Structures are given as structure tokens and as C-alpha cells.
Amino acid sequence: MTASKSSRARAARAQANAARNGSGPAGRGNGTASAAEPSTAVAVKPGAAGKAGGRNGSAGGNGASQTRAISTRNGGPPRGGSRAQVIREEPTDAAPAARTAVPRWLQLTTFLLALAGLGVSIYLTVAHFTEKALFACSENGLVNCTKVTTSPQSYVFGIPVAVLGLAFFVAAVALMSPWAWRSPRREVHLIRLASMVVGIGFVLYLLYAELFIIGSICLYCTSVHAITFLLFALTAFAAGMYGLNPARGR
């Protein structure tokens, strides 16, 4: 009986030692942590938990959980030497590109041309009503300002052409201003394009009248025609390149 008691005592001590060393049933579990070692698991970022959980359900071996989240705090190193780092995810979808606005040089060029046309139109209107000869303009040969400005073709529907030109450029100055180019209203850009189409059509009629009906040209009138043509070309270019609402999406 003494030998039997000694054998049982040795077996009990062996089981106790095995339990302490984690080699017993309590330490060999596939998903159970050993009571001798604390768990060191920290927060897992979204998506990483599924990967960690797919490995036999949990970390085994020495019984300590080995799941760990690695990330950055605001794009920099962790504070105070902490193992855990904060994850910051950047958006992957780029914002849609904004539509390109009309360049500054085109806005200023059209505005200055409209102001120049307005100045010439004011001078022609004053000369028409005061019946004064135009300054530095020939009155003989092909260039004959007086002959052009006093011809029947200098009136359209009973309205002096000079007055119509003045009204056109008053509107042009407003429509060609940088504030109008930056307007988000599509109607402003439509009116600008439509007015330039009407203006270039009227210029073609006046050129025909000067060359084929009157037989003379006026230098001041020709300058107005050239300014109108440039405004029409730049406006058509802007509409083709940037659309009828270039200010949207800025």
C-alpha cells in the first residue's frame, strides 16, 4: 500500500507540473488561451478581423492571443510608444473634374474690344446728329465717310445705323464683362452667342451696302465691323471649347 500511495503521489505531482508548463489538456486547446499567460489582443481594423479569425478561429501555441492591429495615427507614428496605432483610410474615388472656365485672357480681351466698339459707336452717333465731318476721314475716292454716313443705307427701318451700333455695343460691354463670363446662368451665355450671330449678320449686310450699293467705305464703320467680327470669333471659340455654361463646376 505504501508503494501504491507513492505512485499516486508522483503521478499527481507530474500532472501538476504539466499543468503549470501548459503541456496538459488546459494548454493544448486549439482555441483556448492558457491561464498562465494573459491575452494581448488589441483592436482589429475592419477587414483584418476576418483574416485573423480564419486561422483556426484564434491564435494558439502558447495560449496567448496574437491578433494585433497595425495602423497609423493621422499619418504619423504612434504617441508614447504605444503598440496600437490608429487606422486612417483615405477615399479612393476621385472627385469628378470640374469643367474648365473661360480663361482670363479671353474675358479681358472681349471686354476691351467691346469697350472700344462702344467708344467708336458713341462718336459715330454724335457725328450723325451734329452733322459734323468725321475726323481724319477722306471724302474722295473709295474711302468716303461722309458719303457712307449720309446715304439712304445709313438708316435701317428708319433708325440710324449709328444708333443701332451704339445699342449693340452697350449690350456687348455687359455681356463681355468678366462678371458675365463667370455667371452660372446659361441664359447669359446663350444671349451673348445669339447677339454676336445677329451682329455679324448685320455687319455682312453693311459691307455689302458699302461695296456694292454706295461704292465707298467709312474707316470708322470698318473699325466697328472688325471689332464685331473679332467678338463673334472669340465668342464662338469659347462656346465650342467650354460650352454654353463654362462657369458651372468651378
- Whether 43 has a pLDDT exceeding 50, the answer reads no
The CA distance from 61 to 29, in Å, is 9
> Strand ranges (DSSP E) for the chain?
155-156, 159-160
- Whether 13 has a pLDDT exceeding 80, the answer reads no
- Whether 73 has a pLDDT exceeding 80, the answer reads no
**pLDDT for the residue numbered 248:** 54
Q: What are the CA-CA distances from residue 106 to residues 154, 182, 191, 237 (Å)?
A: 32, 12, 18, 10
**pLDDT for the residue numbered 10:** 73
**pLDDT for the residue numbered 130:** 87
**pLDDT for the residue numbered 98:** 40
The CA distance from 187 to 189, in Å, is 5
- Whether 72 has a pLDDT exceeding 90, the answer reads no
Q: Mean per-residue pLDDT for 136-143?
A: 80
Amino acid code (one letter) for 59: A
**How confident is the prediction for the chain on average, in pLDDT?**
74
**pLDDT for the residue numbered 35:** 39
β-pairing, 159-160 vs 155-156, is antiparallel
- Whether 161 has a pLDDT exceeding 90, the answer reads yes
- Whether 62 has a pLDDT exceeding 50, the answer reads no
Q: Mean per-residue pLDDT for 161-176?
A: 96
The CA distance from 140 to 147, in Å, is 9
- Whether 129 has a pLDDT exceeding 60, the answer reads yes
**pLDDT for the residue numbered 79:** 52
Q: What is the CATH number of domain 104-242?
A: 1.20.1440.130
- Whether 246 has a pLDDT exceeding 90, the answer reads no
Q: What share of the chain is helix, strand, coil (3-state, %, to 5)?
A: 55, 5, 40
Give the pTM.
0.59
Reported as a single tens digit per residue, the pLDDT across 183-234 is 989 999 999 999 999 999 999 999 999 999 999 999 999 999 999 999 999 9
Q: Mean per-residue pLDDT for 116-130?
A: 94
The rounded percent of the chain whose pLDDT value lies above 70 is 60
Region(s) of the chain under CATH 1.20.1440.130: 104-242
Most confident segment among 15-29, 64-78, 132-146, 158-172: 158-172
Q: What are the CA-CA distances from residue 96 to residues 89, 99, 117, 172, 249 (Å)?
A: 20, 9, 40, 34, 10
